A and B are shown apart, each in its own frame.
Chain A
């Protein structure tokens, strides 16, 4: 969330205006209406990138268990087709993280339709998507955006907790590595301060 992003209100409005076709059943194992991978492919093209093949394969599902994720993927495609994203140079790693990681976590917590109909869930979806691409809503400080996101989103809280644990683990490993005798033995420098 290091970078200032679009207006929150605009994106919330955009979700309210979601065309109902986006919530039609996704195509799974030859049945269903919405070709989710094709939607994502189009979105990447719209923002000036090529969608990674491996990611598209993961969206061409044959498993019923992926239904909720695919439905929410379609909703996120609609959200990211907003003019602000199209004219902004969106980072590919951030986009991939949205579809590969964020959407899956959010889809486990609630149905796609709730992320459209329920005001809190709607805001959660917008904020999580922005955060994964390192944006925060326009006019908010990093601290405000972080506070609001973690108060709204159990998914984000879980992710932050995991990230904080991972950071603590790495810090502990660094301290341990530096304290080991092997590290103390050091390595050759041509002078010693």
Chain B
């Protein structure tokens, strides 16, 4: 993939870049109000990849999600057989079982323990990329992926946008999407989307630390005139504080649950639809909230969703349990009854399968002694360099901090972990406790008033 070393160059990042694309990259980087872009990345799509991405979109954009809760769709049997033939962890289980409902579930902890065992034999190693999860419910891990898989996200966003009557129209010399973050440390870069005629893509951090002047944030966003803003409730809350005049055609919120109050404020302020997309690194966009149905409508035709109890039994429609998925569009990481860590129930609404009362994605904020707020992603980042398989972090109502570590990791890494939190919380003491729970814990908790983004 990279020519002559580990460090990619622009030919690796943008293999099909034209003069128009290069012009867009320069515009995004060199605007007088542009932020500091701390990283470099790209679409990595070759001409052959683009053919595949377009073909995927052509067959997926309008394909209905045509199963009903409890009825395993026909394609699942061959998918299970394929997993047992091509994925080391599933192959080791022997022949695929005759019945789908006896397949043992896979947990986040399984993937975190050895992701390589879950990567399909068909995944080309020289094209592998990773996405690091900073979720709120479990083990930090790297997800194996591929540039085509990353590009396929757009197809599902288009499906979600179509539900609210928005068809993307941007193209050459226009900016398609701005991905907003609001974190102490954020992966930021510029790119182009070749399947949209090299429209611009910017991932930026609204935290003032990345800008020459805080006022540049609104100036830059207005200059870009992006068709879509994507972000999470924390970055959108910050966006509301800025005097941005531009009106994108849609806002897409992922990562964490978007409260009705924040959604309403965003809709009023930007006069456009605000989509709350339930999306996971492991599986991509799963569903989009339809407020009229009060449920997340599923977006992937080749993703079978169940709700399981603790004993891997599929629960009937209406019963609450852990959302579990089979299938997906990441051909590097085919998932068989993968427990997402999120809870909800299934229902048919508006003629389509939906997730009702999705829970487990609420963003959590913490405050340091100076009154500065941080979110759970900042804490994940701070601890990313410490080799922890699992941890919990909470802040009591009086501001006291506690970090829970598994017993052996507490012994080995407690000092390093506390040190890693110092850039966020300064000299404030962090009590280290022992984490006994094996798998599911609420990783982040804050008992402070205003800890949850309204």
Which residues on A are within 8 Å of B, measured CB to CB?
Answer: 2-3, 142-143, 167, 170-175, 177-193
- Residue B8 contacts which of A142, A171, A185 (CB distance < 8 angstroms)? A185
Least Cβ–Cβ distance between B255 and chain A, in angstroms: 5
Least Cβ–Cβ distance between B140 and chain A, in angstroms: 13
B:147-182 near A, CB below 8 Å: 147, 150-151, 153-154, 157, 176-177, 179, 181
Q: Is A192 a contact of B254 with CB atoms below 8 Å? A: yes
Given contacts A174-B119, A178-B115, contact A191 B39 (CB under 8 A): no
If A174-B119, A182-B8, A189-B150 are given as contacts, then 13 extra A-B residue pairs at C-beta distance below 8 Å, sorted by A number, are A142-B95, A170-B125, A178-B128, A178-B144, A182-B1, A182-B129, A184-B132, A186-B187, A188-B201, A190-B177, A191-B254, A191-B285, A192-B230
Kindly state the separation between the CA atoms of A121 and B44 in the bound complex, as whole angstroms. Answer: 54
Q: Does B307 contact A (CB under 8 A)?
A: no
B:260-282 near A, CB below 8 Å: 277, 279-281
- Residue B255 contacts which of A143, A174, A175, A192 (CB distance < 8 angstroms)? A192
Q: Is A181 a contact of B6 with CB atoms below 8 Å? A: yes
Q: Is B285 a contact of A174 with CB atoms below 8 Å? A: no
Q: Is B84 a contact of A2 with CB atoms below 8 Å? A: yes
Which residues does chain A contribute within 8 Å of B285, judged by CB atoms?
191
Q: Is A180 a contact of B6 with CB atoms below 8 Å? A: yes
Kindly state the separation between the CA atoms of A2 and B45 in the bound complex, as whole angstroms. Answer: 38
Give the residue name and chain of the A residue nearest to B279 (CB): A193
Least Cβ–Cβ distance between B82 and chain A, in angstroms: 13
B:212-231 near A, CB below 8 Å: 228, 230
Q: Is A193 a contact of B281 with CB atoms below 8 Å? A: yes
> 10 nearest interchain CB pairs?
A171-B116, A2-B95, A187-B150, A174-B116, A191-B230, A142-B94, A187-B147, A177-B128, A191-B254, A187-B44
Give the residue name and chain of the A residue nearest to B231 (CB): A191
Q: Can you give 6 contacting A-B residue pairs, CB < 8 Å?
A: A2-B95, A172-B116, A174-B115, A190-B230, A191-B279, A192-B181
Q: Is A171 a contact of B230 with CB atoms below 8 Å? A: no
Given contacts A171-B116, A183-B130, A188-B42, contact A193 B147 (CB under 8 A): no
Which residues does chain B contribute within 8 Å of A173, judged by CB atoms?
125
Give the residue name and chain of the B residue nearest to A167 (CB): B88
Least Cβ–Cβ distance between A183 and chain B, in angstroms: 5
Q: Is B43 a contact of A187 with CB atoms below 8 Å? A: yes
Kindly state the separation between the CA atoms of A182 and B6 in the bound complex, as whole angstroms. Answer: 6
Q: Does B257 contact A (CB under 8 A)?
A: no
- Residue A186 contacts which of B1, B131, B181 (CB distance < 8 angstroms)? B131
Given contacts A181-B6, A187-B150, contact A171 B130 (CB under 8 A): no
Q: Is B230 a contact of A183 with CB atoms below 8 Å? A: no
Which residues does chain A contribute within 8 Å of B6, judged by CB atoms?
180-182
Least Cβ–Cβ distance between A18 and chain B, in angstroms: 31
Kindly state the separation between the CA atoms of A177 and B116 in the bound complex, as whole angstroms. Answer: 10
Kindly state the separation between the CA atoms of A187 and B130 in the bound complex, as whole angstroms. Answer: 8
Given contacts A173-B125, A174-B144, A191-B230, contact A184 B157 (CB under 8 A): no
Number of interface residues of B (CB under 8 A): 63
Which residues does chain A contribute within 8 Å of B42, judged by CB atoms?
185, 187-188
Kindly state the separation between the CA atoms of A170 and B87 in the bound complex, as whole angstroms. Answer: 12
Least Cβ–Cβ distance between B290 and chain A, in angstroms: 18
Kindly state the separation between the CA atoms of A180 and B228 in the bound complex, as whole angstroms. Answer: 31
Q: Is A177 a contact of B125 with CB atoms below 8 Å? A: yes
Which residues does chain B contribute within 8 Å of A181, judged by CB atoms?
6-8
Q: Is B117 a contact of A187 with CB atoms below 8 Å? A: no
Which residues does chain B contribute within 8 Å of A193, judged by CB atoms?
131, 133, 135, 254-255, 279-281
Q: Is A190 a contact of B153 with CB atoms below 8 Å? A: yes
Kindly state the separation between the CA atoms of A181 and B40 in the bound complex, as whole angstroms. Answer: 11
Q: Is B126 a contact of A192 with CB atoms below 8 Å? A: no
Q: Does B66 contact A (CB under 8 A)?
A: no
Q: Is B177 a contact of A186 with CB atoms below 8 Å? A: no
Which residues does chain A contribute within 8 Å of B201, judged by CB atoms?
188, 190
Kindly state the separation between the CA atoms of A191 and B142 in the bound complex, as whole angstroms. Answer: 17
Which residues does chain B contribute within 8 Å of A190, judged by CB atoms?
153-154, 157, 176-177, 179, 193, 201, 228, 230, 252
Most buried by B among A2, A171, A181, A186: A186
Which residues does chain A contribute within 8 Å of B95, judged by CB atoms?
2-3, 142
Kindly state the separation between the CA atoms of A101 and B150 in the bound complex, as whole angstroms. Answer: 39
Least Cβ–Cβ distance between A89 and chain B, in angstroms: 15
Q: Does B139 contact A (CB under 8 A)?
A: no
- Residue A189 contacts which of B130, B153, B181, B228 (CB distance < 8 angstroms)? B153
Which residues does chain A contribute within 8 Å of B12, judged by CB atoms?
182
Q: Is B130 a contact of A186 with CB atoms below 8 Å? A: yes
Kindly state the separation between the CA atoms of A178 and B128 in the bound complex, as whole angstroms. Answer: 7
Most buried by A among B8, B84, B129, B142: B129
Q: Is B150 a contact of A186 with CB atoms below 8 Å? A: yes
Q: Does B203 contact A (CB under 8 A)?
A: yes
Q: Does B114 contact A (CB under 8 A)?
A: yes
Kindly state the separation between the CA atoms of A192 and B123 in the bound complex, as whole angstroms. Answer: 22
Given contacts A170-B125, A173-B125, contact A188 B144 (CB under 8 A): no
Q: Does B18 contact A (CB under 8 A)?
A: no
Least Cβ–Cβ distance between B160 and chain A, in angstroms: 10
Which residues does chain B contribute within 8 Å of A191, judged by CB atoms?
153, 157, 179, 230, 252, 254, 277, 279, 285
Least Cβ–Cβ distance between B226 and chain A, in angstroms: 11
0/1 interface trace, chain B 188-212, chain A, CB 8 Å (1 if under):
0001010000000101000000000
Q: Is A171 a contact of B117 with CB atoms below 8 Å? A: yes
Q: Is A188 a contact of B116 with CB atoms below 8 Å? A: no
Least Cβ–Cβ distance between A145 and chain B, in angstroms: 10
Q: Does B443 contact A (CB under 8 A)?
A: no
Q: Is B126 a contact of A188 with CB atoms below 8 Å? A: no
Give the residue name and chain of the B residue nearest to A171 (CB): B116
Which residues does chain A contribute within 8 Å of B7, judged by CB atoms?
181-182
